[in-house]
Structure 1
Amino acid sequence: MTTDDPATDRTDREDFPDWLRQLERDIRPGPAVRLRIWCRRRSRRLMGAVGVLLVLALVAGAAAYGSGHLRRPGPAAHPAAGPAATASPTAAPGPFAGTPAAGWPAGAAGIVLPAAHRTGDFSTAQVSAGLAQVRAALLTARLDRAFMAGRSPDPLLRHFAPAARASVRKEYATETIATYATRLAPDARLAPDPPRVSGRITYQATRDNDGARKLAVTTNFVWVYGFRDPGARSGYSVVLLHDTVVWHLPYPDDVAAASRGLWLHRTSSYGWGLDCGTIHQGLVRPGGLDPAAAPFPEDPEALYDPDHPIAVPTHC
């Protein structure tokens, strides 16, 4: 495209050599010729400008390359070696460490009720209510610390039928109580860890000699208690009690109002790690074997099995 701007025409003319002006009268150069002449006159300045552009391009490329490396994550640096980390102190082993009861459920978690079903003339609801009554009695008799350390049978008595409470009260101060409930000797100190429990519950419908219908619930549990024992290397000792108890719940229509509720029908148990002097009073505390007694005829760890027969040679 051409322009009629006089200023542009004047500048172009001044850049032409004298001989070209002389020839201009006869030959008027075209645009290509004018461009070559113009470039030749400014070659040094053009070379300098290109050099500057190349330098700028290199600088910009280097900056971009460096910037890319700054943004790109490098390999993870290894932390400088410093003082060795101090290991956290290992928790002291509990009282059940090294015994078969170490992995057993703690406390109430070990008393799992079977599913309730209609049994004989007992409806599903009656069976479910009866099982719950038995479980509540077990929780008090074997796991309630206030009851076990206390000196009153009342917390346990409330689980029984009114007519059954007198016999339980009478047994409270005798050796028989230990077959279905735990009473601690005054100087016995339980460890903070809950007792460990393993066993099962079964039930069936039955009748007594008078023909009264009964729901018989059989509980078979091993209870393992941890005690503080300053004389032991670990600071603890354990006592094991294994009991089998048959509980009766009469059919409500077959008995008087005072007899409705929980009854003890049969109890049996054995223990291990007990103090022989206090267990005869119905009190539990840890104690060692009588050195004068005959060696126990089997591996004591077998006594932790709920399927172990209740009848065992006594070590007291």
Structure 2
Amino acid sequence: MSDEEWARFLRAAEQDGGAAASRDVPKEPSADERAARAARVARSGQPEGWRTGPAWRELDGRATRRRRLAGVLGILLAAGLLVVAVRPELVTDRFTTRGTGYADTAAPPAGGAGGDTPTLKEPFRGSPAVDWADGAAGIAVPGAKAVGGMTEEQVAHALNSTKKLLVAANLDPATLRGERPGAALDLLDPLQADGRGVLEKALTHPSVDRDPLWVFSRFDPSEVRPAGNVVKVRGKLTYERGERDGQVLVHADYTFVYPVVKAGPGATEVARTVVRRQLTLALYDPEKIRTTPGKLYVLRMDESAGNDDCSRDGDGFLHPQFLSDLVAGEDGGGGGRLVDPYDRSKPLDELSQECGTVTRT
């Protein structure tokens, strides 16, 4: 019964010892009433309780997805005097699956720090990423199995779509130079206002509270250009069943390393920006949950960025800083505790949300 019915029932019970209350108890519908309701459902084409996407969580007494917006973490490189930032993170659900790259229980090995200066010929010199995979080759899709009422084909589609999203959002040259990431957006369900809808608005009107960098790696082409055509990638895709049949969850935890130079002619000084992303995406069975068939829902967006000027947060672009910037007195808001942007031993929501100092890029 509804809250109103229950309140009325309690008032009646207090008034006459329960006699009136018994008259107010909602009755089980008759067979004719159930048949009429079934007919209405058949005419509408949707089952009662049908919800858009993951809002079915309301049906089992849980609150709808929570959103927590974290602060900015700007980081100043200690040895190389570069600036790094961890961007705002949008958390709508939490998961415990962690990516690999280094063991989840330990920090990355020492060595390979910024003692070796990167060059146009060797933009990853001195970086732990020098031996990582190049581009999309670093995003391995695990074998798919039927899970959670989803077929093997549906799970495979969810995994492959997630890889396509990661590539389009973090490796596509057009996305990196700040253009609209149409291919990535097309993989997301247009029915999700707080997923694709938020990202569409963030691309048009970015702000601290609505930042496209939550999902997309974007650089201002008037400031920097890629140093070569290689982005180093390391991470892992995993999947699991959702809380109900008709849902598969895909967890992505990847680190991308971008070498860049200034946009001006003749620029040779190389800087690197290190971006780590943790995403949780869902694919729903359209026979069980109202969704756009084959499209992904975004349940979690976490992002950290190393060598990104945190004093310029909220404009929708990553802003790498160079040694020459630091010499000129541009500190990018750095300071605070030491952070290694290559350390993948902890989930991003356990990291500090304040400006700090990184040990390498």
Shorter-chain TM-score above 0.5: yes
Deviation sequence 1:250-279 (CA, Å, 0-9, x none): 122122353651111111111111122444
State whether residues 261 and 271 of structure 2, in contact with CA within 8 Å, keep that contact through their aligned partners in structure 1.
Answer: yes
Matched, 1:141 2:177: no
Structure 2 segments unaligned to the other structure (5+ residues): 1-118, 357-361
Task: State the Cα deviation string for residues 150-185 of structure 1 (Å, max 9, x = none).
Answer: 432423221112313433211224253212111211
Q: 1:230 to 1:95 in 2, by over 3 A?
A: farther
Match of 1:221 in 2: 254
Once the two structures are overlaid, the 10-residue window that deviates more, 136-145 or 285-294, is: 285-294
Aligned to 2:198: 167
Q: 2:123 aligns with which of 77, 91, 95?
A: 95
1:287 corresponding residue in structure 2: 321
Q: 1:277 to 1:190 in 2, by over 3 A?
A: farther
- The answer to whether the 8 A contact 1:179-1:268 is kept is yes
Provide TM-score, normalisation by structure 1.
0.62
- Alignment coverage as a number of residue pairs: 221
Give the deviation of 1:113 after TM superposition.
1.0
Identical positions, percent = 24
Q: Could you list the per-position Cα deviations for residues 280-309 of structure 1 after superposition, in whole angstroms to 9, with x for gaps in the alignment? A: 2120121268748563422x4x32133343
Instruction: Provide the rounded CA distance (Å) in 2 between the counterparts of 1:262 and 1:215.
Output: 10
Per-residue CA deviations over 1:200-227 (Å, capped at 9, x if unaligned) read 01111113xxx57321101001111000
Greater helix content:
1
Q: Which residue of 1 aligns with 2:234?
A: 198
- Letter of the aligned partner of 1:184 in structure 2? F
| 2:290 corresponds to which of 256, 259, 267 | 256
Question: In the alignment, is residue 178 of structure 1 matched against residue 218 of structure 2?
Answer: no
Code of the residue aligned with 2:199 in structure 1: it is V
Q: What is the TM-score normalised by the length of structure 2?
A: 0.55
**Per-residue deviation, 1:243:** 1.2
Residues 94 and 193 in structure 1, CA contact (< 8 A), matched pair in contact too: no
Deviations 1:124-169 (A, max 9, x none): 1111111001100111000001122243242322111231343321
1:96: Cα distance to partner?
1.1
Q: Give RMSD over aligned pairs.
A: 2.8
Q: Distance in 2 between matches of 1:139 and 1:115?
A: 19
Q: 1:168 to 1:205 in 2, by over 3 A?
A: same
Q: Looking at both structures, which has the greater relative contact order when contacts are Cα pairs under 8 Å and sequence separation is at least 6?
A: 2
User: 1:113 is aligned with what amino acid?
Assistant: V
3-state SS, counterpart of residue 132 of structure 1 = helix
Deviation at 1:122, TM superposition (A): 1.4
SS at match of 1:101: helix
Q: Is the 8 A contact 1:270 1:312 kept in 2?
A: no
Q: Quote the residue 1:304 is aligned against.
A: 342
Q: Which amino acid aligns with 2:132?
A: W
Classify 1:247/1:230 alpha carbon distance in 2 versus 1 (closer, same or farther; 3 Å).
closer
Matched, 1:314 2:354: yes
The within-5 A match list for 1:1-316 is 93-164=121-192, 165-172=196-203, 173-174=205-206, 175=208, 176-187=211-222, 188-207=224-243, 213-229=246-262, 235-258=269-292, 260-287=294-321, 291=331, 295-298=335-338, 300=339, 302-310=340-348, 311-315=351-355
Is the Cα contact below 8 Å between 1:108 and 1:139 reproduced in 2? yes
Q: Flag the 1:230–1:170 CA change in 2: closer, same or farther, 3 A.
A: closer
Larger radius of gyration: 1
Q: Secondary structure at the match of 2:198?
A: helix
Alpha-carbon distance in structure 2 between the residues aligned to 1:269 and 1:112: 20
Q: Could you tell me how far apart the structure 1 residues matched to 2:165 and 2:332 are?
A: 38
CA contact (8 A) 1:178 1:279 kept: no
- Where 2:317 maps in the other structure, the secondary structure is coil
Deviates more, 1:175-184 or 1:138-147: 175-184
Unpaired segments ≥5 residues, structure 1: 1-90
**C-alpha deviation, 1:92, in angstroms:** 6.1
> Are 1:199 and 1:221, in contact at CA under 8 Å, matched by a contact in 2?
yes
